[in-house]
A and B are shown apart, each in its own frame.
Chain A
């Protein structure tokens, strides 16, 4: 893959982590129990850490002057962000947040495992190797909650089944290969998404079985995030996140 494609691939990794971390940050102080305030902020913290690493690396591949992680996070506009639509979905209730996390965590874990083992970009491999340890905890946390909520009370079962049904349409995007993925697979940087999908299905199904939840049919899959075409709530997320650096563009903090 060429340098701009390489940069794009890293931006996707950084943006997925950033936007999900930002969403989780919104939970702080509002979780159902103190333990979950800790867990959700902890996961957000891991994701922001991954963001810093991936975006810094992406910025170093910029044509011309290299960009910092902060420049990329705070001075790009909606269409320049390449995160999955799944991770930008509003928090909803705790079940929505957990299902969003669950669907993403298992994808992120498999992706990180590939990244850690490839040799095309050794720096990305090192970042992924560190991230794997974190994502394993995230996947464990979200999977256990999917099981608890699915197999908890009638209300929790119904709520979380609804969350799963509604978020399912954003899962197709994770496994749709475009020209960046194709180039990434050829170079070895990115995983073969067909193989990833099979592994993801196995992981997801195992948890869903324990949770007594029903896996939704693969219907219409909403796409666009990888091309920078986001859902409507995304602009508000960016407006909030970027407000200070945009107001004082030359300031350091």
Chain B
């Protein structure tokens, strides 16, 4: 078991996993709690925009797939909250922070899901960006987080494929369907790129997290990968990337792309996005409406403990 900072540093440097009972620096613990709980909150809030379309999925097969996907998100939320709890916090407290607006979740879910093609774009781009961010986390130095991310990533990769498959089907369809797909790409592309966070020059947490092996690649590196991966996928099915500055750069071997609207990024982050208020209001209502159910479950469990004892 790790008892000192020296041991901790040596362990992390040697790519060994830190486990819950090991000694760890306070900053490491805080960073992980913040990151894991934000991730859990994102899964939970992320159920809402997609959940909206379960009742309107255009075929039984699509309905079943979307149900399976959103159920996965709830599962991810559960094991991420559990991973956070190994660091000495309670799920209930973390949820309170989400509901009060104190804790953040991924800003992407503050954009409205307007058409069925948005469900495709979310799977393809949003889950695609999430995987890009999360695959390196499978090697995160903190054991419980690393193990939950391995499972999350397996499921996310299925989510991404289901999203792309929706887009493929739409692009094979009639003109209205193709327009729907292009429109969804136009609206979701830039917010998806924003998911990698601020540009490296403005990112506050990067370097320490690199040393701690919580983070492996910088925001801009991951963003570049996302662009390079997505462009050929879009071309393959006849979608046009909504970026006039996008072009292949022979020298770098990457795509150059246009400037992100950081003003929009910081505004959505600050709570001014199209759905920030609605998302939190829905979570608060669900929590409030369900209070009597949770209380009943606790009361029943207590009664039964007494009977058994």
Which residues does A use to contact B, with CB under 8 Å? 18, 21-22, 25-26, 28-38, 41-42, 44-45, 48-49, 51-52, 55, 69-70, 73-74, 93-95, 147-149, 151-153, 155-156, 159, 240-241, 243-245, 248, 250-253
Provide the bound-state CA to CA distance between A253 and B74, in Å.
Answer: 25
- A250's nearest neighbour on chain B, judged by CB, is B174
In the assembled complex, B47 has its CB within 8 A of some CB on chain A: yes
Which one of A240, A241, A248 lies within 8 Å of B177 (CB-CB)?
A248
Cβ–Cβ contact A153 & B54, under 8 A: no
Residues in chain B near residue A18, CB distance under 8 A: 60
Known contacts: A37-B47, A38-B71, A251-B173. The answer to whether A244 contacts B290 by CB under 8 A is no
Residues in chain A near residue B77, CB distance under 8 A: 34
Residues in chain A near residue B48, CB distance under 8 A: 29
Cβ–Cβ contact A156 & B295, under 8 A: yes
- B298's nearest neighbour on chain A, judged by CB, is A152
Cβ–Cβ contact A28 & B70, under 8 A: yes
Highest count of chain A CB atoms <10 Å: which of B54, B75, B293, B299: B293
- A22's nearest neighbour on chain B, judged by CB, is B55
Residues in chain B near residue A240, CB distance under 8 A: 55-56
Pull 29 A–B residue pairs with CB atoms less than 8 Å apart, ordered by A.
A18-B60, A25-B55, A29-B286, A30-B285, A30-B286, A31-B286, A32-B286, A32-B291, A34-B74, A34-B77, A35-B78, A38-B74, A52-B61, A52-B64, A70-B61, A94-B290, A149-B296, A149-B300, A152-B296, A153-B295, A155-B295, A155-B296, A240-B56, A244-B57, A245-B59, A253-B58, A253-B169, A253-B170, A253-B173
Residues in chain B near residue A26, CB distance under 8 A: 54-55
Task: For the complex formed, measure the closest distance between the CB of B181 and the CB atoms of chain A, giving whole angstroms.
Answer: 12
Residues in chain B near residue A69, CB distance under 8 A: 60
Q: How many B residues face the partner with a CB closer than 8 A? A: 48
- A51's nearest neighbour on chain B, judged by CB, is B60
Provide the bound-state CA to CA distance between A156 and B300, in Å.
Answer: 10
Known contacts: A33-B293, A41-B67. The answer to whether A252 contacts B169 by CB under 8 A is yes
Chain A-chain B contacts (Cβ-Cβ < 8 Å), number? 146
- B49's nearest neighbour on chain A, judged by CB, is A29
Which one of B56, B75, B176, B291 lies within 8 Å of A243 (CB-CB)?
B56
Going nearest first, the 3 A-B pairs with the smallest beta carbon separation are A32-B290, A152-B296, A156-B296
Cβ–Cβ contact A29 & B294, under 8 A: no
Cβ–Cβ contact A152 & B299, under 8 A: yes
- B287's nearest neighbour on chain A, judged by CB, is A32
Known contacts: A52-B60, A149-B293. The answer to whether A253 contacts B116 by CB under 8 A is yes
Highest count of chain B CB atoms <10 Å: which of A18, A35, A245, A251: A251
Residues facing A in B73-103 (CB within 8 A) are 74-75, 77-78, 81
Which residues does B use to contact A, with CB under 8 Å? 44, 47-48, 51, 54-64, 67-68, 70-71, 74-75, 77-78, 81, 116, 166, 169-170, 172-174, 176-177, 282, 285-286, 289-297, 299-300, 303
Task: For the complex formed, measure the closest distance between the CB of B273 and the CB atoms of chain A, giving whole angstroms.
Answer: 18
Interface of B is mostly: helix
Cβ–Cβ contact A45 & B292, under 8 A: no
Task: For the complex formed, measure the closest distance between the CB of B212 and the CB atoms of chain A, giving whole angstroms.
Answer: 28
Provide the bound-state CA to CA distance between A22 and B55, in Å.
Answer: 6
Which one of A22, A28, A32, A245 lies within 8 Å of B294 (CB-CB)?
A32
Cβ–Cβ contact A25 & B296, under 8 A: no
Provide the bound-state CA to CA distance between A151 and B301, in Å.
Answer: 10
Provide the bound-state CA to CA distance between A50 and B303, in Å.
Answer: 37
Residues in chain B near residue A93, CB distance under 8 A: 289
A26-B54, A37-B71, A252-B169 provided; 10 other pairs, C-beta below 8 A? A26-B55, A28-B51, A31-B290, A32-B290, A32-B293, A32-B294, A52-B64, A69-B60, A153-B295, A253-B59
Cβ–Cβ contact A152 & B300, under 8 A: yes
- A18's nearest neighbour on chain B, judged by CB, is B60
Cβ–Cβ contact B75 & A44, under 8 A: no
Task: For the complex formed, measure the closest distance between the CB of B71 and the CB atoms of chain A, giving whole angstroms.
Answer: 4
Provide the bound-state CA to CA distance between A45 and B299, in Å.
Answer: 30
Provide the bound-state CA to CA distance between A194 and B61, in Å.
Answer: 36
Cβ–Cβ contact A25 & B59, under 8 A: no
Task: For the complex formed, measure the closest distance between the CB of B88 and the CB atoms of chain A, giving whole angstroms.
Answer: 20
Which one of A32, A156, A245 lies within 8 Å of B58 (CB-CB)?
A245
Which one of A41, A70, A147, A159 lies within 8 Å of B300 (CB-CB)?
A147
Task: For the complex formed, measure the closest distance between the CB of A197 and the CB atoms of chain B, giving whole angstroms.
Answer: 29
